[in-house]
Structure 1
């Protein structure tokens, strides 16, 4: 583990968060003790990335946007140190080459035998529902030959609603499900149908763990449409 990660998890952040929030965990036995694997989670709040590593002994690596690591002055240094401390490595975000670079970085993490934390929705849920997953998670898992461990963050959206910087005191938990092994998809990392099938299976597993309503839409696009006033809020009684 990096010095920053060890310092943050075991000294600066971990003990106070554990002591105050007392996060609970179910199914932690599904997380392998060694070897590469993807931890696939719903994404309800910024604090998801803080609480998930607290409930398991192994380091979790997340991919974060490059801008977190390039700030100037004390604020830039503090942000960079914090991101490194919670296990984030920088990637350029966006489409095309940036997306390919992010996938390559994720593959390197997995092939080195580490745990890679991924939010398949690609962004925080705008309303607490679970949105369609992006297929990069399936491509990485198939190409690296690693299992996907579905999990659900519980209560982080109540503790930290959108716009709130510091989480409030409430029960927060993490629920892990059995690993999804993709041996039957070996060699199909470029097969779009296979990638969508695997990704949809991952989202179904997360939904069963979280109890969230599933929305078959891209979360980031839906957020943008809401900001532009181009679409009404989703009616839970209607299909999207």
Structure 2
């Protein structure tokens, strides 16, 4: 109930007026059955715009920290995330990551839409970073299609490190479903899962027009924190020179 209240009464109307979101490719989302909505991740506000534009309910796997806050703020945060159908996941260990994948697979097998950010973290500089293979694992084990999604200009609504949102027009671009049934039974094969993930990231890159960086965003952020460098400087130091020519295309697809 709270999900629809937030979408149609509390938050949705305000977002539509202030950010005037446009959606393209809405017909690519199935009217029933499970599917992965795999999106780039530019802003903390991303999770608002996709469910707002999609008619069906979208479930996200949310950081467990959102459900552990204390005091009035923590209580309100827990109420909001629980009430809007977000599922807490622990990302602190390998076993926790496996549990998150199992949870996502169950959600998909039950016929729901699952929103995922394959990069695993917000982009530090509005470029598209290497995707983690969990999205491929869940798609293979549940047998559902993956629908690439591109958020455009959401980083201008809520830039990284800023708490207060800004008014800016945004766009949501939804691509055609990707069918990976040809890989049925190959869940757990690291080469297959990497190939699938790179194909998904290529489609997101094509939709968004972002520059692609074949490094994990989380590692780039860690390097930034350790050195005080910008994302561009950190990437330049981390990336071997031989790979610089392929910085716009996932390596599996670049040939």
Aligned pairs (5 A) from 1:212-223: 212-223=210-221
- Is 1:203 matched up with 2:204? no
Show the counterpart of 2:9: 11
Show the counterpart of 1:117: 115
- In the TM superposition, residue 193 of structure 1 has moved relative to its aligned partner by 0.5
Moved over 6 A (4+): none
Q: Where in structure 1 are there 5+ consecutive unaligned residues?
A: none
Show the counterpart of 1:234: 235
Query: SS at 1:233's partner residue?
Result: helix
Aligned pairs (5 A) from 1:48-197: 48-197=46-195
Contact 2:223 2:234 in 1 (8 A): no
- In the TM superposition, residue 81 of structure 1 has moved relative to its aligned partner by 1.9
Equivalent-residue separation in structure 1 for 2:4 and 2:78 (angstroms): 15
Equivalent-residue separation in structure 2 for 1:209 and 1:95 (angstroms): 32
Could you list the per-position Cα deviations for residues 101-146 of structure 1 after superposition, in whole angstroms to 9, with x for gaps in the alignment?
A: 1001101110110000000000000011000000000000011000
Contact 1:139 1:195 in 2 (8 A): yes
Q: Where in structure 2 are there 5+ consecutive unaligned residues?
A: 248-255
Q: Answer with 97-106 or 163-172: which moved more.
A: 163-172
Equivalent-residue separation in structure 2 for 1:104 and 1:60 (angstroms): 17
TM-score (norm 2): 0.89
Show the counterpart of 2:252: none
Contact 1:25 1:55 in 2 (8 A): yes
Equivalent-residue separation in structure 1 for 2:218 and 2:115 (angstroms): 19
- In the TM superposition, residue 72 of structure 1 has moved relative to its aligned partner by 2.4
Equivalent-residue separation in structure 2 for 1:106 and 1:140 (angstroms): 7
RMSD, matched Cα? 1.7
Q: Answer with 214-223 or 10-19: which moved more.
A: 10-19
- In the TM superposition, residue 85 of structure 1 has moved relative to its aligned partner by 4.2
Equivalent-residue separation in structure 2 for 1:97 and 1:189 (angstroms): 17
Equivalent-residue separation in structure 1 for 2:13 and 2:82 (angstroms): 18
Query: SS at 1:108's partner residue?
Result: helix
TM-score (norm 1): 0.94
Q: Answer with 136-145 or 155-164: which moved more.
A: 155-164
More helix by percentage: 2
